[in-house]
Each structure stands twice: as structure tokens, then as C-alpha cells.
Structure 1
Amino acid sequence: MRATEFRSWLSRLTQLNQTQRDQLQTQLSCPQGMLAEALEPPEHCPHCQATALRPWGSSHGLARYRCRTCRRTCNALTGTPLARLRHRECWGRYAEAMVKSLTVRKAAEHCEVHKNTAFRWRHRFLRLIAEHRAQHESGIVEADETFFLGSFKGQRKLSRQARKRGGRARRKGFTAEQIPVLVVRDRSGQHADFQLKQLNAAHVGEVLRPLLDPDAVLCTDSAAIYQSFAKAEGITHHRVNLRQKRRTDGAFHIQNVNAYHGRLKLWMKRFNGVATKYLENYLGWRRLLERYGNDLNPLICMKESLGDYPVQQLTQT
């Protein structure tokens, strides 16, 4: 913009109302600066993984790099879930919407984009966040499952009659309609959860085996699947019999996991039912909120969406 045009633009700022001033302030202070701070120059070529990158001009406001090995170009977004998404000036505000756990329509209104765009952005932002969970847990490790009603939300062809706004299961208890989610948490705050295909010893062992330290003490309810896994792996297992109305046995309990179940279910209600194929993304979103607590901000959210995980702020239990 030329200097004369800029002065003319500045002279019209007094004509803005308060809402327009707030929008201008958000645009100036948040989006581009936040994205520039979140992005880091790539160390490896996303196409061939070589380290022979050199600057190669810029395009659409992003620095470009060219690989000397494969001769292909890239930028800091290439190979990330946010690659080729438009309206980068709105990403900062969308990260704010995620920190506030806004629904799709409210997030679209907050960013002044179409609701379909807000939905697409949600699951692009959450793709890598959903994969960020604890890789190792030790000490007293609590594990317990919770259930979500299976949902085909958004699909046109259903194998059953459609439900409205989440709905209810036809029968009480665990049935084929329910999707099991195993939550695992140790006393230092390390947290992981997994959407299971089936609730049996084989699937539980598949996710717990690489997660638990050999010296860990697994604390669960009296379900037989955990006992079978602990016996097969030689892990110390302490069972809390909830049917006898004993929720604690000294230091052994699953109160932290059960409390998390309550927070997760309460948080999920705002979305009026979550499609099963996107459930893992929402689990990752909730883990993000738990991981940072009040320290979570749009910049951290954007970094995690790009796969750059800052130092975790663990919630102590």
C-alpha cells in the first residue's frame, strides 16, 4: 500500500464503531503474528526427508524452500494437517475458539467463516492433537473404561432409525450400541485414552502393554479383563471392588479416572452427540484442555495442531 493510501485509510478509522474496532484489534494483534510465531523453518524435506533445504523465495506470504536432493519445493506448512487451508488470517481466532471449546456454529460466527469451513478446520486442527497422549506411565496407574453411544452423525444412509441430538441407547448397560473408551492415568498426571474396537482382554492388553512400566501397580475395578492382562504380563494388580461400596483401599483407588470420566462426559454434552468416526479427535481435544488447564492459549493450540508439542503443563492429581 502506498503512503498516501495508508494515510487515507488511517483517516477513516474514526468512523468505525466499537464492534468494528474490536475486530480490527483482533486482526492486528492475533492471526498473522501468531502463525509466524508458531511456524518454524522445516529441517527436513517433507517429500524425501533429506536435510538439503535452501531458501527459494516466498509464496502466498510464506517462505519457500527447495530440496537439493529431490528438487521439490515446500514451506513450513507442507506435510502438516493445515497445508492448503485458506483464510490463514482467521486461524488465530479459530485457535481461540478451540481453547473456549466453542461448537462448530459458534466457532464459525467467531471467525466469520461458513460453518462447513469451521467443521473442516476443527478436524484438521485436531488430527495431530488426537495422537498426542502419554507414551509411558509408572507408579500407581489407574485404568477404567467409559462408554459413548455409537453415532453415525452426518451420514445420509443409516442401518437404523435416526436419533435426534445424541439420543439414548435402546437398552441399559453395555451393548453393541456402546463404544468403549479406556482411560489410563497415573498419579503424576500422565494421561492416555483409547477408543477400543471391543472390550476384551486382547484389545485392552494391546494398548496397555506398551504404555505401562513393568514396575507399575495397575489399579482397576474388579473386571476380569484387567486381571487376565496383569497376570499374563506379570504386572502387580490391585482391584477395588465397587460393588461392596468401597471406593478406596488406602492409596489404591480409581477416583482420578472416574472424575475425568465425569468431566469428559459433561464437556461432550455441548456437541449434542459426536460421530463415532471423529470420537478420537474429541478425546484428543479434551486431553489438550486437561494437559494445560488455564495455561492453554491459542498459540499453544496452534503449535500442537502443527505437531510441535511445547513442554507439557501436567495437571497434578
Structure 2
Amino acid sequence: KSCNKTFNALADSPLYRMKKAEKWIEYTKLMWEGVSLRKSAKALDITLRTSFRWRHMFIKAPASFNPSVLTGVIEADETSLPESFKGKRAINRKSRKRGGGKIEKVPIFIALDRSGAISHKVLERNTKENIQAQLKPLLSSGSVLCTDGNLSYKGIAKELDIDHKRLIGLDNQRVVEGIYHIQTLNNYMMRWKAWLRRFNGIGTDYIENYLSWFRFMEDNTEYSDQTWIK
């Protein structure tokens, strides 16, 4: 299972050399519940610094298991989160005028297939070129791409010569030909964002790690102590 691969891989990481390994399982449960760093530290009698280190080592661990290819019916879309510098000591942007300016949004590309494989990437900008750079390597022969009405996907599908099903919101099209839709992806995004709310905001630099962690925990609802500390 990917669960075993993920945490066996920790044997070569700084996490493997951490003390108090017997508390890792309880800590991951607190993470999944969205318990704050400070409350987690108090519950497990560890320092706040240790709590911070553990969280970011754990959420980073599954990131390398992003699938390289998707098959069959593929759903793709973008979502976004407000830009956040949470967790950074220095903010590398110009200060905004008081009461003016919109909060920047960070675009996130997500694609999945019906077998449960999920790929995601934070985009620098939401452009056709950036979307295509992420989507093209994921497409396999004979796959069918399902998207919303974003014209970027129409152009990409034409350039790559792939079967493309567009779900046009204005036409109230939710399913095409009985099987083609993006509801699986929309539901996944909703669950992820609902889970994120437990953390009262996350830093932009950590978005992909939190996506990977959420994907991993949904795929591995049952795990043993041995799995985590091997």
C-alpha cells in the first residue's frame, strides 16, 4: 500500500530520527481533526517547536506520490485559495494601502480519474499555458477529458487531439452521455476545503503539502502503528 511506502520512506528523513515516535499516531489524529499546534503540543506533552516540526514533516511525506499519469475518464478543473504568508517570517511583496486592493488568489490545478488517482499543482498564474503544462503529461492514450466551460481546456484538447467533454454551467449540463461529468472532482474539492477550515488558514507555501496529506488520509482511513514507524 502507498501508506507503507510513504512512511517506510521516512526512514531516510529527519522525522525518522525524531524522538517520541510512540506519539506519532496520536499526533496525526490530532492533525486530521485540525487541532492547533499549541493544543496538540499540550495534549502530547511536547514542545510547540516539536509540534510545528512534526506537522510539517508529516504533511510533506506523501507529496512525492503524485501520480505521473491518469487513465480512463479524467476530470480536471482549477480552484483557488487566498494568498497567505502564514508561517513566513518575511513577506516578499509590496505593502497594500489601508482599505484598498483585493486579496490575491492562488490558483490550484487538480485532476483525477475514476480509479481514485489524483494529481494537483499550485499554479503561478491561471493561464492556458500553465494548465497545459500540468495536464499534458497526465493524459494517457484513449482517455476522455471532462472539464467545465473554461475555454483553455477546449484549446488544449484540440492541440493534443484528445476526446473532450465540456460541462457548460450556463446550460445546466451536469452529465454528458450519462457518464461524463466533473462531480467527482467538485466533491473532492469541497471535502478538501471543508477540512482546511479546521486550520484557520494555511500558508501558500504549504498548499501542496496539505493537498497531499488530505489525499493520503482519505486513501488510508485505517493504518497501524507499525505502518507509521517502520
Range of TM-score over shorter length: 0.7 to 0.9
Cα distance in 1 for partners of 2:172, 2:194 equals 24
In structure 2, the CA distance between the partners of 1:273 and 1:179, relative to structure 1 (3 Å rule), is same
Larger Rg: 1
Report whether the alignment pairs 1:105 with 2:38: yes
Cα distance in 2 for partners of 1:200, 1:284 equals 23
In structure 2, the CA distance between the partners of 1:101 and 1:272, relative to structure 1 (3 Å rule), is closer
Report whether the alignment pairs 1:278 with 2:213: no
- Counterpart contact for 1:142–1:184, Cα < 8 Å: yes
- Counterpart contact for 1:97–1:110, Cα < 8 Å: no
- Please, which of 143, 151, 161 is the counterpart of residue 224 of structure 1? 151
Equivalent in the alignment of 2:130:
203
Equivalent in the alignment of 1:179:
106
Q: Deviations over 1:116-151 (max 9, x none)?
A: 211111111222212222232111111111100010
Report whether the alignment pairs 1:245 with 2:167: no
> Aligned residues, how many?
221
- Please, which of 159, 181, 187 is the counterpart of residue 259 of structure 1? 187
Gaps of 5+ in 1: 1-37, 43-75, 163-168, 307-317
Q: Which has the larger share of helix?
A: 2
Equivalent in the alignment of 2:3:
none
Equivalent in the alignment of 1:141:
74
Cα distance in 2 for partners of 1:157, 1:230 equals 41
TM-score of the aligned structures, taking structure 1 as reference length? 0.62
- Please, which of 150, 155, 160 is the counterpart of residue 233 of structure 1? 160
Shift of 1:261: 1.1
Report whether the alignment pairs 1:188 with 2:121: no
Shift of 1:96: 3.6
Percentage of identical aligned residues: 34
TM-score of the aligned structures, taking structure 2 as reference length? 0.84
Report whether the alignment pairs 1:80 with 2:13: yes
- Counterpart contact for 2:60–2:213, Cα < 8 Å: no
Cα distance in 2 for partners of 1:258, 1:87 equals 39
- Please, which of 290, 298, 312 is the counterpart of residue 218 of structure 2? 290
Query: SS at 2:137's partner residue?
Result: coil
Cα distance in 2 for partners of 1:39, 1:198 equals 33
Residue 41 of structure 2 aligns with an amino acid whose one-letter code is A
Gaps of 5+ in 2: 1-5
Cα distance in 2 for partners of 1:232, 1:297 equals 47
Shift of 1:282: 0.6
Cα distance in 2 for partners of 1:216, 1:264 equals 25
In structure 2, the CA distance between the partners of 1:151 and 1:99, relative to structure 1 (3 Å rule), is closer
RMSD: 2.8
Cα distance in 2 for partners of 1:100, 1:297 equals 18
